[in-house]
């Protein structure tokens, strides 16, 4: 996969791209990335990329010309269907399912804006996906793009040391992840559940499923509304509702 990031502040991505999973993924050749300061594409004699909104109002709006020219320069000819992602509080709420969908693409282009917003023609003509990482407003789209990139890159083949890790993450199965324990078996009077020390893999899998469903029921019951529960899961949920 190749990722292009259109931003006025490319240096913001240095830390994210040069550490941890993101760096290792690049070293493995799982993905490549370039940050592009779209100010370099402006034809404005004062090097401006924003202007006052028609009709008045507070703030400044990103002009279409630099964004259009930058995308046309980096998107290969004949690849008009390349996913162009606009980080925007008006976009669809970001989910693990969306991360899995994007991880199957060969190229992603992120547009990170600042100021009051974008000229609407950018949305209409260039953008394929508008994504929001939450119902709040950030100074710019850079932090949101970092979140999406991280969640997508970790799903690429051979990025994680254990391929099962991604599939067992919270939300990948539609449930929150089960509790985890490690050594020592007893710490300050708190003990690891006996089943995890039993060596009985079937019982361990059942315990993890039970705890995953219970944690989802207690913390994010809205997720269960989207899930078709098995007979056993229904029995467990019924028990918790009664308790």
**Strand, helix or coil for residue 204:** helix
Is 137 one of the annotated binding-site residues? Answer: yes
Task: State the burial class of residue 49 (Cβ atoms within 10 Å of its Cβ: 0-12, 13-18, 19+).
Answer: buried
Active site residues: 89, 116, 154, 169
Question: Do residues 108 and 4 touch, judged by C-beta distance below 8 A?
Answer: yes
Is 135 one of the annotated binding-site residues? Answer: yes
Is 136 one of the annotated binding-site residues? Answer: yes
Which residue intervals of the chain are DSSP H helices? Answer: 14-17, 20-27, 64-74, 96-102, 120-125, 142-153, 163-168, 194-197, 201-219, 221-224, 231-242
Q: How far is CA 48 from the centre of its chain?
A: 30
Is 113 one of the annotated binding-site residues? Answer: yes
Return d(Cα 4, Cα 37) in angstroms, integer: 11
Binding residues for S-adenosyl-L-methionine are 113, 133-138
Binding residues are 113, 133-138
């Amino acid at each position: 996969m190749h990722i292009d990031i259109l931003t006025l502040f490319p240096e913001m991505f240095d830390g994210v791209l040069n550490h941890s999973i993101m760096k290792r993924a690049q070293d493995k050749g799982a993905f490549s990335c370039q940050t592009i300061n779209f100010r370099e594409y402006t034809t404005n004699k004062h090097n401006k990329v924003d202007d006052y909104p028609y009709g008045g109002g507070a703030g400044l709006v990103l002009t279409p010309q630099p964004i259009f020219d930058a995308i046309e320069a980096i998107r290969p000819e004949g690849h008009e269907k390349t996913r162009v992602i606009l980080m925007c509080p008006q976009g669809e709420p970001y989910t693990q399912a969306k991360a899995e969908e994007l991880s199957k693409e060969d190229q992603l282009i992120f547009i990170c804006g600042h100021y009051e917003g974008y000229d609407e023609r950018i949305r209409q003509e260039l953008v394929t996906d508008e994504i929001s990482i939450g119902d709040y407003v950030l100074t710019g789209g850079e932090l949101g793009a970092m979140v999406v990139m991280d969640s997508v890159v970790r799903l690429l083949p051979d990025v994680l040391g254990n391929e099962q890790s991604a599939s067992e993450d919270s939300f990948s199965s539609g449930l929150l992840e089960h509790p985890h324990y490690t050594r020592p078996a007893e710490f300050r009077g708190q003990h690891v559940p006996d089943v995890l020390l039993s060596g009985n893999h079937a019982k361990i899998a059942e315990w993890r499923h039970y705890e995953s469903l219970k944690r989802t029921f207690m913390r994010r019951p809205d997720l269960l509304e989207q899930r078709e529960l098995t007979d056993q899961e229904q029995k467990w949920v019924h028990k918790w509702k009664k308790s």
